[in-house]
Amino acid sequence: MAGGVGSRFWPSSRTNFPKQFLDILGTNRSLLQQTYTRFLRNFLPENIYIVTNQAYIQLVKDQIVGIGEQQILGEPIGKNTAACIAYACGKINKINPDAVCIIAPSDHLILDEPAFIEKVDLAMHFAQNNPALITLGIRPSRPDTGYGYIQYLENQDLANIHKVKTFTEKPTLDLAKTFLESGDFLWNAGIFVWSVAAIKDAFKEHLPEQYTLFHDAYDSYFTEKEIETIKGIYEQTRSVSIDYGIMEKANNVYVIPSEFGWSDLGTWTSLYEISPKDDNENALNGKNIMTYNTSGCMIHTSQNQTNKIFVFNGVKDLIVIDTPDVLLICDKNKEQEVKDIATDIKIKFNEKYS
């Protein structure tokens, strides 16, 4: 899934060049390229599909060299995760109704890729033999209020695969602390595994309107009529997440507790947490950055900025993002407001700044 605009990573992430296409980690590869390469460990290139906004199709082609035209699914408008999953699984179903799929965001960090692939193999084998909807849950390391939580039941017959008891969206801090202490809650990573038959049945039961719309598009997939048909569907379908629309309601949901160095890289602070730091806990990414009596800061400057010197004296716990046309200076505790600031800038100035 590569269609988001990444507004919490503004001003580096822009509507016309969002987070998944950026080298946000300084590895000379974008997050999308890293995700694609990760899945080449287990999947043939022709079996990897990328769902994105139609406006980003050329960006995908530029970054994933040689990908087939039919492997890039262009959404005319963003309608949340349920629609893009229904679209992708519908096309895969036409090729192979016995297929098992993994659905993953394109902009997440996974440090331990062998451990990740091990969990994927376990999930896919289970999905091959059971009509189950499986999610990979991350063992929480702190009471974070920015993630959804999955409560699971103790094993009965299955090793490392648990029936899900409840989903809880972004709890209060007190509730998150209770979840952490209980030991039977996991972070919802938004990574899913299922057969196309199982997810088709789930849409039919829990999101029947979307099921009907995408089912009726079956004959248009892989034809010249597909783009126009999908445009009509997206004009009609409602915006709903797969979590709210299906996963919270279905009774055949399972979770695999996982630890593979995961971060959703949802905010600048999440990037700060996994970045190398100096002796004063500053995460510095860029050239000519000088710090004095400065601590706990995330400082990110444009890589092509060679003539400017950046000097920080006597400040702490700031996010500082310098781009060619925008400078953001933000208290780390206020970073949840960055998305709203980006919207405000778009209204007051120009769309190119959003």
Distance, C-alpha 126 to centroid of its chain: 23
Q: Which amino acid is at 238?
A: R
Dist. CA 110–CA 17, nearest whole Å: 22
Domains parsed from the chain with CATH numbers:
7-263 (3.90.550.10), 268-353 (no CATH)
Q: What is the pLDDT of residue 254?
A: 95
Percent of the chain with pLDDT over 70: 98
Q: What is the pLDDT of residue 24?
A: 87
For 75, the enclosing helix (H) or strand (E) is strand 72-75
Dist. CA 337–CA 244, nearest whole Å: 24
For 274, list phi and psi in degrees, rounded to 5: -100, 0
Contacts of 178 (CB under 8 A, 6+ apart): none
Contacts of 70 (CB under 8 A, 6+ apart): 91, 222
The segments of the chain whose pLDDT lies below 50 read none
Q: What is the pLDDT of residue 305?
A: 63
Q: What is the pLDDT of residues 20-78, one digit of tens each?
A: 999 988 888 999 999 999 999 889 999 999 999 999 999 999 999 989 999 999 999 99
DSSP helix/strand/coil, 278: coil
Q: Which amino acid is at 207?
A: L
Distances in Å between the Cα of 156 and the Cα atoms of 128, 152, 159, 160, 183 are: 20, 12, 8, 10, 17
Contact (CB, 8 A) for 83 and 213: no
